Amino acid sequence: MLKLYYSPGACALASHIALEEAGADYELVKINLGAGEQRTPEFLAINPAGSTPALVTDEGVLTENVVIMGYIAETHRDARLADDVSSFSFSKMQSMNAWLGSSLHPAMGKLLFSRPALEAEARDAAAKVVLDKLDVLENHLFVGPWARGENFTVADGYVSVFTRWARQAGLLDPARYANLADHLDRIQSRPAVRKVLSAEGIEPV
Note the CATH architecture for domain 88-190: Up-down Bundle (1.20)
pLDDT tens readout for residues 37-80: 999 999 999 999 999 999 999 999 999 999 999 999 999 999 99
Q: Residue 125 contacts by C-beta under 8 Å, 6 or more apart in sequence?
A: none
What is the rounded distance in angstroms from the CA atom of residue 165 to the CA atom of residue 92? 24
Class of domain 2-81+192-200: alpha beta
pTM of the predicted model as reported, rounded to 2 decimal places: 0.97
Spans of all domains in the chain: 2-81+192-200, 88-190
Mean pLDDT of the chain: 97
Percent of residues, the chain, with pLDDT higher than 90: 100
Q: Provide the pLDDT for residue 127.
A: 98
What is the rounded distance in angstroms from the CA atom of residue 145 to the CA atom of residue 149? 6
pLDDT tens readout for residues 133-163: 999 999 999 999 999 999 999 999 999 999 9
* Coil/strand/helix, residue 30: strand
